[in-house]
Amino acid sequence: MKLQPGATLPAAMVALTVTTGMVEAVSFLALGPVFTAVQTGNTLFLGFAVVGSGEFSAAASAASLLGFAVGAALGARLSSGADVRGRRWFVEALVAESVLLAVAGLAGWSIERYGHPLTFRQYLVTALVALAMGMRNVTTLRASVPDMPTTVITRTMTALIGTSRFGLDSRIPSGTAAEIRRTASVGAMFAGGLLGAWMLHEAVRPPAVLLVTSACVLAVALVLTCTPRHRTGP
């Protein structure tokens, strides 16, 4: 079943987009540089690392890609199974993601900041966070909220600009609601990255940032649990 975006669901997607920015701040600044949600960038990093360009780690990128793939597969099975049983699959997927982020934070409690050489613990945390983000991507893909994928904003930003007075594209869906969603999505990603980087800059340990992110995802799940459930709702 598809979710019908009401008032609560888009707000939840905005909050989840903020957490993506926080996660990627930890991933890039403390675990790599590597991405765990944005696998387009991570795939490029792997290519750079293979040819020895820059300070990219092939092992870190591979750990992220593998964790993400496993997370996407598990997320699809978890959500589909819960959906078939008539359970709130969206909420269950977010709870599972929150648990994985918490486990990643606890597993990497001794990690301070990014530095070479990377350790096994950093690879492990990278894989766990990517596992959670793989599940997130499946969750938001199933939710199908227009312009709010929560983990990437390239297409959202393109649509925002393309339908603006500068672009005037007639084939891209437009309207006030779409503009609000797109603007909120782009702003949320920036805000999340800013918040995560600020916390690290203020000497908050990377695992603590992951635990805060875990708590935010869990809070979103709890809010959705308290909302009325419609026939096609979460």
Q: Is the peptide bond before 5 cis (omega within 30 degrees of 0)?
A: no
Query: What is the three-class DSSP state of 4?
Result: coil
Question: What is the pLDDT, as a whole number, of residue 6?
Answer: 60
Rounded CA separation 31/74 (Å):
23
Q: In sequence order, which residues have a C-beta less than 8 Å from that of residue 145 and are 6 or more positions away?
A: 3, 5, 9, 10, 13, 181
Q: Could you tell me the pLDDT band of residue 231, with boundaries at 50, 70 and 90?
A: very low
Buried b (16+ CB within 10 A) or exposed e, 42-57: beebbebbeeeeeebb
> What is the per-residue pLDDT across 147-180, written as a single tens digit (0 to 9) for each?
999 999 999 999 899 998 888 778 888 889 999 9
Domain boundaries, the chain: 9-226
Q: Could you tell me the pLDDT band of residue 89, with boundaries at 50, 70 and 90?
A: very high
Q: Taking the model in full, what pTM does it have?
A: 0.91
* CATH T-level fold of 9-226: Growth Hormone; Chain: A; (1.20.1250)
Rounded CA separation 24/151 (Å):
10
Query: What is the three-class DSSP state of 66?
Result: helix
Question: What is the pLDDT, as a whole number, of residue 5?
Answer: 47
Q: Examine the pLDDT at 97 and tell me if it is beyond 90.
A: yes
Q: Examine the pLDDT at 220 and tell me if it is beyond 60.
A: yes
Question: What is the pLDDT, as a whole number, of residue 194?
Answer: 98
> What is the per-residue pLDDT across 6-27, written as a single tens digit (0 to 9) for each?
678 999 999 999 999 999 999 9
> What is the per-residue pLDDT across 40-87, written as a single tens digit (0 to 9) for each?
999 999 999 999 887 889 999 999 999 999 999 999 999 999 888 888
Q: Considering only CA atoms, which of 42, 35, 17 is closest in space to residue 186?
A: 17
